[in-house]
A and B are shown apart, each in its own frame.
Chain A
Amino acid sequence: MLPFFVVIPLACAFLISLLGKRIKNLSDILANLGTLALLILSLYSIGLVNNHKILVYKVGGWIPPIGISMVLDGLSSFMLVIVGVVSFLVTVYSINYMERFTDKWKFYTLFMLMLAGMNGVIVSGDLFNLFVFLEIASIASYALVAFGTEAEELEASFKYAIMGSVASSFILLGIAFLYSYTSTLNMADISLVLSIKEPGLMVSFIAVLFLVGFGLKAALVPFHAWLPDAHPSAPAPISAMLSGVFIKILGVYALCRVFFNILGVSDKIFFVLTILGVISMILGAFLAIAQSDIKRMFAYSSISQIGFIIFALGIGSPLALLGGLFHLFNHAIFKSLLFLNSGAVEYSTGVRDLKRLGGLNSRLPITGFTGLLGAMSISGIPPLGGFWSKLIIIIAAVQAGYFMFASIAILISIVTLAYYLKFLGFTFFGKLDDAWLKIKEVPWAMRFSMIILAIICVITGLLLIPILRPFLQSAVEVLLSGREYSSIVFGAIR
């Protein structure tokens, strides 16, 4: 059943591009059915991983070190669930939202291609295949950013495409070096060969190439310049996808897989990840305060939150990894919720500038309330999901002896609260401008997505209770197993 994660979105993209123009509404139905199927499959995969620990699919029946393999383990299934949930709700949202654009079917085609690429990156067990899927997802996203074809969107897309392509070239160069060093491309096999060889300068050099490549995709701070342009310029559902899952799959997930399971982590890599994480955290938060464009503020906030996740990964203790992955899940949910909120505001008023909005809570009650929940969750107000993940990360940082970084993390949480209060205050509270007296609440499909995401936002804290905990724990165990990954994969083949 593993190939279906790639086959379903690819087939949908093909059918939509073929028939979407002729038959009206077909693209809506097909895209929603496709993402619904992916959501169900990904939820089903949790059970499979619980029973079998790991599943390996051999493409074309060739045995893996020679043939291509697809691997489903705890981390993959965790990521697939995130992609499934967010992409399904985003397609439901797009039914109404994308009416503002012409050629909706083109949007859905590109969207499904991007989804195929992302799912492919997650399930791929072969390093070059990972690169190919990564490029499929990236190229689709370059086109989606430029979807509105206004001047700003084209400019942002060009910048994004150039930086993304340079990142891809770095990753390909890294793969070339790794192939010349180990003579294999299968991830488990590379890990096996590297564990036999002596650790040398070559591995560090490859690690740097991958760090630059995936760091650019994840928008860590020295490489973040494209994100604040690209994410606000895209249509709101795509911003939600890009900020919610795209940078996490192509950046954080790929980084984790390569560093933890293939190259093996050392103290040096942990140190670099911690420093990069803290810098992203600080810079993202402080740049976000100064913004007056809603989506631009959220984009900078994404950089800051990705910093939290990378910082947690850099601490490297089991508790920190749990916190990091939990924060990744939470961030996917509330950041997509917030981008959908900004889309709803833009849908009804046509404005994204904070200074011109105000008092919309009386006109858009559902958007206002879900936006409040999302903003409170991301800034870490107690019963909501974001609080627990940040708490775990900070406790883990204190346990590991990073007292200064832990206090910086607390400070940044407060700054986060400050700029989200600014967003709420300027958008939903205060005096209603006369211009917005006549606007109405957004259509039902958009409301549905926002309400579901807000509910998930409230209840994510439950993932920590013992019954639901295996879902997170199995993902953490994959990262903790490190180089054992190869023996686990080869054990599953035999």
Chain B
Amino acid sequence: MIEFVLCLILFCIGLYCVVRKRNIIKIIIGLGIIEYAVNLFFILIGYRAQGRAPILAKDQTVINMVDPLPQALVLTAIVIGLAVTALLVAIAIRIHDKYGTFDITKIRRLRG
């Protein structure tokens, strides 16, 4: 049970980082933390203590196995996360070109 709580705490740390930090790069890192917390949570759902991979072999039966579906889903989620992070970093570089700073309090041309 404690793992799940820790996982949600990690999620909240990421959320805090996105909401409170002023540096664009730190915000991106915060987003990464959120994504990893969710992925970790997904993996934990499928985990069974002492479980093993659910591979059917001839003369053996798997009694206690780990759920493989969340692992497949997390692989997809990681790839999506990679795409988002790459896009965000690319935008951050362009923003630095235009504004000359990473500080979001100074990047405020849009208002209203």
Question: Which residues in A have some Cβ–Cβ distance to B below 8 Å?
Answer: 128, 132, 135, 139, 142-143, 146, 149-152, 154-158, 161-162, 165-166, 168-169, 172-173, 176, 179-180, 185, 228-229, 233, 287, 290-291, 293, 296
Among B11, B84, B109, which residue has the most Cβ atoms of chain A within 10 A? Answer: B84
Report yes or no: A162 in contact with B38, Cβ–Cβ below 8 A. Answer: no
Report yes or no: B77 in contact with A155, Cβ–Cβ below 8 A. Answer: no
Question: Which residue from B11, B69, B84, B109 sits with its C-beta under 8 Å from A173?
Answer: B11
Report yes or no: B18 in contact with A156, Cβ–Cβ below 8 A. Answer: no
Q: For B109, what are the chain A residues with a Cβ–Cβ distance below 8 Å?
A: 151-152, 155
Report yes or no: A154 in contact with B95, Cβ–Cβ below 8 A. Answer: yes
Which partner residue on chain B sits nearest A151 by CB separation?
B98
Interface SS, B side: helix
Report yes or no: A157 in contact with B91, Cβ–Cβ below 8 A. Answer: yes
Which partner residue on chain A sits nearest B41 by CB separation?
A176
With contacts A169-B34, A173-B11 taken as known, whether A162 is within 8 angstroms of B18 at the C-beta atoms is yes
Q: For A150, what are the chain B residues with a Cβ–Cβ distance below 8 Å?
A: 98
Report yes or no: B84 in contact with A155, Cβ–Cβ below 8 A. Answer: no
- B24: CB under 8 A from chain A? yes
Question: Which residue from A139, A152, A158, A233 sits with its C-beta under 8 Å from B83?
Answer: A139
Which partner residue on chain B sits nearest A184 by CB separation?
B69
With contacts A139-B84, A166-B34, A291-B112 taken as known, whether A179 is within 8 angstroms of B95 at the C-beta atoms is no
Report yes or no: A161 in contact with B87, Cβ–Cβ below 8 A. Answer: yes
Which partner residue on chain B sits nearest A230 by CB separation?
B110
Question: Which residues in B have some Cβ–Cβ distance to A below 8 Å?
Answer: 11, 15, 18, 24, 27, 31, 34-35, 38, 41-42, 45, 69-70, 73, 76-77, 80, 83-84, 87-88, 91-92, 94-95, 98-99, 107-110, 112
| Distance between Cα atoms of A460 and B88 in the complex (Å) | 40
Q: For B84, what are the chain A residues with a Cβ–Cβ distance below 8 Å?
A: 135, 139, 142, 161, 165, 168
| Distance between Cα atoms of A168 and B41 in the complex (Å) | 15
Report yes or no: A172 in contact with B77, Cβ–Cβ below 8 A. Answer: yes
Which partner residue on chain B sits nearest A138 by CB separation?
B84
Q: For B110, what are the chain A residues with a Cβ–Cβ distance below 8 Å?
A: 152, 155-156, 229, 233
Q: For A132, what are the chain B residues with a Cβ–Cβ distance below 8 Å?
A: 76, 80
Question: Which residue from A142, A162, A185 sits with its C-beta under 8 Å from B31?
Answer: A162
Report yes or no: A162 in contact with B27, Cβ–Cβ below 8 A. Answer: yes
Report yes or no: B45 in contact with A154, Cβ–Cβ below 8 A. Answer: no
Task: For residue A246, give the distance in angstroms from its CB to the closest CB of chain B.
Answer: 17
| Distance between Cα atoms of A291 and B45 in the complex (Å) | 48
Report yes or no: B87 in contact with A142, Cβ–Cβ below 8 A. Answer: yes
Q: For B45, what are the chain A residues with a Cβ–Cβ distance below 8 Å?
A: 176, 179-180
Report yes or no: A290 in contact with B107, Cβ–Cβ below 8 A. Answer: no
Q: For A293, what are the chain B residues with a Cβ–Cβ distance below 8 Å?
A: 112
Q: For A290, what are the chain B residues with a Cβ–Cβ distance below 8 Å?
A: 112
With contacts A155-B109, A229-B110 taken as known, whether A128 is within 8 angstroms of B73 at the C-beta atoms is yes
Query: Would you mind naming 20 contact pairs between A and B with Cβ atoms under 8 Å apart?
Result: A128-B73, A132-B76, A139-B80, A139-B84, A142-B84, A150-B98, A154-B94, A155-B107, A157-B91, A158-B95, A161-B84, A161-B87, A161-B91, A162-B31, A165-B84, A173-B11, A176-B41, A233-B110, A291-B112, A293-B112
Task: For residue B34, give the distance in angstroms from its CB to the closest CB of chain A.
Answer: 5
| Distance between Cα atoms of A157 and B24 in the complex (Å) | 13
Report yes or no: B76 in contact with A161, Cβ–Cβ below 8 A. Answer: no
| Distance between Cα atoms of A260 and B70 in the complex (Å) | 26
Q: For A185, what are the chain B residues with a Cβ–Cβ distance below 8 Å?
A: 69
Which partner residue on chain B sits nearest A287 by CB separation?
B112
| A-B contacts besides A149-B94, A176-B45, 6 pairs, CB < 8 Å | A166-B34, A168-B84, A176-B70, A233-B110, A287-B112, A293-B112
